[in-house]
Chains A and B, each alone.
Chain A
Amino acid sequence: MATPTEQLDDSEGGPLERWTKRAIKDPQRVYRALFYVAMAFFVVTTLFPFYWLLVLAVTPRQNLLSGSFLPEIDLFGAGMTFPLPVPRKGFAPGSFITIFEQIPFHLFVLNSFVLAITTTIIVLFVASLSGYVFGRLDFPGRALLMLGILAVSYFPPAAFLIPLFEAFAGNEPIVIPFTQIPLFTAPRLLNTPGSMVIPFSGLFLPLAVFILTTFYAQIPDGLEDAARVEGTTRLGALFRVIMPLSAPGVATAAVLTFISVYNEYFFSSLMALSPSAENWSPLVGGILSYQTQYTTQFNLMAAASVVGVLPVVILVVVAQERIVSGLTSGALKE
């Protein structure tokens, strides 16, 4: 801690007093200390909930309700409850296997992957076309159209729910609003991937469009011209030159779209009418099954959540730079 000379100077008083004295002489130490305290606080508060999930997941089911997770500690003779839970009720990691036996939890996760990947591919393709147009072409109405796309991303999904549900039910023909003129009857999409992929594509397109617009706009015109003179069409130049060169931007848009779909709750919980994997119910359905059907098996809920959160945790650690750049370059277009 303190060097011998300092100890000589500040020999009187306890350690706290000595630290305070030095701190007054050198305010940098205070800032440093504050910084570490703040950092520790943020890390603990963000990670603690995961710790709690793990504690619950490995606690044997029969011990869940008996006794407290908060140990009594003896502090200088005065008994008190330690405010944070500790794993003190036994160790039963079997819940990580049980969750796949009670319900086909892996199929729910798989459904989420299929929905997320399909949506990501559609979004990347459509957003690439739009990003190219907004980033590289000049045409009347550009600003207005971008504004319109931006606006869509701010409307709550609840505002779109009723007509989409009605259309995906496939009972009645879709009519042109305010006219009664029937257009066509959509196939029944409820309980199929389509009923989720379609709204997801719409909801998450705007963010991808804004990210790709930023990246595509930065590719020099000369490269596009060179590709066209060499023999590509305009679209060919987009997919052969502009897109590969914007690989970081495309990766960013892909990662953010994937995470957004994987995390989506609203349509995921409503478009699959029952939480069963055969009906394409995704992660949401799997987790909620444990909450509603196995109401006291808290260890299973926790274990399922740990498994469900693992893919995105890995994605965040691996693709951290892309996420940060996407959220900041696409700025506010969440």
Chain B
Amino acid sequence: MARVQLKHVTKRYDDQGDVVTAVDDMNLDIAHGEFICFVGPSGCGKSTTMETIAGLTIPTEGEIYIGDREVTNLPPKDRGIAMVFQNIALFPHMDVYDNISFGLRLRDYPQDEIDRRVERAADIVQLEGMLNRMPEEMSGGQRQRVAIARAIVREPDVFLMDEPLANLDAKLKVHMRTELQRLHKELDTTIIYVTHDQEEAMTLSDRIAVLDSGQLQQIDPPLTCYNEPDNLFVAGFIGSPSMNFVEGTVTETAIETPNFSLEFNPSSVDDVSAGDEVTLGIRPEDIYPGELRDEVPDPSGQIAATTDILEPMGDEIFAYLLLGDGETSMSQELATNDQLLMSIDPDSDLEEDEEIEVVIDRRNVHLFDSATGEAIVHDLIPYETDSSASGSEVESDD
């Protein structure tokens, strides 16, 4: 049984005198058979973390366990792992058969066993009849299958995949994604998968580990990461398009932002009191045009806005809204304050540069501590709240 555990794993590099911490006190416990994705922007430490599991990098501190064995200092070959690389990394001087059987031949498996396993692996990734080809004669998708077959034949305890789909075109990527899920079902092994693409992570994994600056931000099932992000980073990273962030101040009755205020009772939530600086997180699909107010379970007051750019995506339209006097602040901060992104129905007859009113679904407004970035609450109005609470609501647009 291949449970994978990381305990206080830290990796520091010495970069010409400067100490760079690539992985900072990483603690993970991955269950057997789990499909787990490491996701984060480039340089967040996800690849380094995977390399420490693979044994390609030895951590500066901490321990790594695969199954019940400590493997922290074992070389890659003794860890019972197989790996698929971003650049595919097929040996260009070997044909498909030799590539797939490389690891087995190194371990002196009997020839009939090698043949049997290669055949089975080729069968799983649908490479029958191509075993004598050279890598340069194959398409990108076929090469990727060879790389996966090379990992499968080893019957490893843990599969490591480092952005295996990154170099494929969009259509092939979606196709390979389903293949990977099928593979996971078929093989019943632990898969650790690194990607910078949160959508890939959402669709593939049992749990997502979100990393930033070498630190684990959150590890949870995809929907939990989406619905209950632990902090501003996870909230901003998971979900496409990104969550809107608006800075505000808590008062006795509301949260005041530069352009609107949301009615809110600080006493309904622990750890919040009047005067706190907070950041509101609002997903684009939780903003509605004013005329749909009645359909919103827990609507805010009307907020005046001007449409800026509309991006029709087919199944929805992304509408960029300008708040207040309509000046766009091109700030590089996470919070935009004067701009909101709204996702609306494709049939909407909204036009660019139109003055409209929008409402926000207060049930799905996330509240973060501006200073620490930690999540305070994920619904301004708790779902359990009875209707009397919403009755006390006042129109708050100005």
Contacts and interface: CB of A to CB of B under 8 A. Distances in A.
Interface of A: 220, 222-223, 225-234, 236, 241, 244-245, 247
A229 B102 CA distance: 11
B171 interface: no
Contacts of B75: 228, 233-234
Interface of B is mostly: loop
A222 B87 CA distance: 7
A85 B55 CA distance: 71
B77 A229 contact: yes
Interface in B348-396: none
A244 B91 CA distance: 10
Interface in B144-176: 150, 154, 160
A226 B106 contact: no
Given A223-B89, A226-B83, A228-B75, 19 more contacts: A222-B88, A222-B89, A225-B56, A225-B76, A225-B83, A226-B90, A226-B91, A227-B102, A228-B77, A229-B82, A230-B77, A230-B82, A231-B76, A231-B106, A232-B77, A234-B75, A236-B106, A244-B93, A247-B93
Central interface residue in B76, B83, B88, by most chain A CB within 10 Å: B76
Interface of A is mostly: helix
Contact of B76 (A223, A229, A244): A229
Contacts of B160: 229
Contacts of A226: 83, 85, 89-91, 150
Contact of B106 (A223, A232, A244): A232
B54 interface: yes
A78 B150 CA distance: 84
Nearest to B156: A229
A227 B85 contact: no
B58 to A, nearest CB: 12
Contacts of B93: 244-245, 247
Nearest to A241: B91
Interface of B: 54-56, 75-77, 81-83, 85-93, 102-103, 106-107, 150, 154, 160
B77 A231 contact: yes
Given A220-B89, A233-B75, A228 B56 contact: yes
Given A225-B56, A245-B93, A230 B150 contact: yes
Contacts of A227: 91, 102
18 contacts: A222-B86, A222-B87, A222-B89, A226-B90, A226-B91, A226-B150, A228-B75, A228-B76, A228-B77, A229-B55, A229-B76, A229-B82, A229-B160, A230-B82, A231-B77, A233-B77, A245-B93, A247-B93
B77 A225 contact: no
A175 B92 CA distance: 51
A229 B81 contact: yes
Given A223-B91, A225-B56, A245-B93, A230 B103 contact: yes
Nearest to B107: A231
Nearest to B88: A222
Contacts of B83: 225-226, 229
B92 A245 contact: yes
Given A230-B103, A232-B106, A222 B150 contact: no
What 4 A-B pairs come out closest when comparing CB atoms? A222-B89, A230-B103, A226-B89, A231-B77
Contacts of A241: 91
A224 to B, nearest CB: 9
A225 B75 CA distance: 11
Contacts of B90: 226
Contacts of A229: 54-56, 76-77, 81-83, 103, 160
Contacts of B154: 230
B213 to A, nearest CB: 23
B20 to A, nearest CB: 13
Contacts of A222: 85-89
A230 B54 contact: no
A233 B107 CA distance: 12
Contacts of A234: 75
Contacts of A231: 76-77, 102-103, 106-107
A240 to B, nearest CB: 8
Contacts of A225: 54, 56, 76, 83, 85, 89
B48 to A, nearest CB: 13
A21 to B, nearest CB: 56
Nearest to B147: A226
B195 to A, nearest CB: 16
A197 to B, nearest CB: 31
Contacts of B76: 225, 228-229, 231
Nearest to B15: A138
Contacts of A245: 91-93
A21 B256 CA distance: 93
Nearest to B56: A225
B87 A220 contact: yes
Nearest to B78: A231
A228 B81 CA distance: 11
Contacts of B92: 245
